[in-house]
Amino acid sequence: MSGILGRKIGMTRLIQDDGRVIPLTVVECTPNAVVQIKTTEKDGYPALVLGFDALKKPSKNKKFKHLREFRLPEGESSFKAGDSMSLDIFEVGERAKITSVSKGKGFQGVMKRHNFRGGPRTHGSHFMREAGSIGARARPGKVWKNMRMAGHMGLDTKTLMDVEVVYVDKEKNLLGIKGPIAGSKGSLVIIRKKD
């Protein structure tokens, strides 16, 4: 199996015997339910659909808050619907690929969003936190694409390609990932084994 779904708990640190301090993000990975199995014959590729965070009032069609698909290697079909996936697939020292959604910050100006310097704040200047010029006049007579301007910031899907698993507690369903992970506390984290 290639991955599992979890919920971000927060950050802490791990102190080694030699005095080194390792910052880590703790992810709670309660057992995921296998909702659907995709096969090469029926769907064109083998995969598992995992359900995470069971709803308190499930309906006929929706029983989990989050559903995600994980591809399987060809020939690995030892799973069946109703099985549960736990942290047994991860060991300390393994490398993983982490996907999560960053914190939303709403509509922001150019200084916060793009690190613009801004203008002088003295001698009667009225140019302080504005964007400034956004193009020429008659030619090209338009605003170029990808011009850095004020706008919506955050809520982007972020993926860390090669991070280390430094802590595994299978009894409490906790997984420790070295370093920070994007997103707020309680947000969904997708953890895949590094190929």
Is 142 part of a structural domain of the chain? no
pLDDT in tens, 50-63: 999 999 998 988 99
The pairing of strands 188-193 and 3-15 is: antiparallel
Task: Identify which has the larger pLDDT, 82 or 70.
Answer: 70
Give the tens place of pLDDT for each residue, 124-137.
Answer: 999 999 999 998 88
| Residue 95 to residues 7, 14, 69, 136, Cα–Cα distance (Å) | 19, 17, 20, 49
pLDDT at 98 over 80: yes
Q: Which domain holds residue 51?
A: 1-56+63-73+80-93+165-183
Residue at 110 is within a domain: no
DSSP track, the chain: --EEEEEEEEEEEEE-TTS-EEEEEEEE-PPEEEEEEE-HHHHSS-EEEEEEEE-SS--SS--EEEEEEEE--TT-----TT-EE-GGG--TT-EEEEEEEPPEEEEE-HHHHH-------STT---SS-----S-SSSS-SPPTT---SEEEE--EEEEEEEEEEEEETTTTEEEEES--SS-TT-EEEEEE--
In this prediction the pTM is 0.86
Q: Quick check: is 144 in a domain?
A: no
161-180 pLDDT, tens digit each: 999 999 999 999 999 999 99
Average pLDDT, the chain: 92
Task: Count up the domains in the chain and report the number.
Answer: 1
The answer to the question of residue 107 being in a domain is no
Residue 97 has pLDDT above 70, yes or no: yes
Is residue 18 included in any domain, yes or no? yes
Mean pLDDT on 106-112: 97
For the beta carbon of residue 187, count every other beta carbon within 10 angstroms: 15
User: 98 lies in a domain?
Assistant: no
pLDDT digits (tens, 9 = 90+) for 3-47: 899 999 999 999 989 999 999 999 999 999 999 998 888 888 889
In a domain, 108, yes or no: no
123 is a domain residue: no
pLDDT tier for residue 76 given thresholds of 50, 70 and 90: low
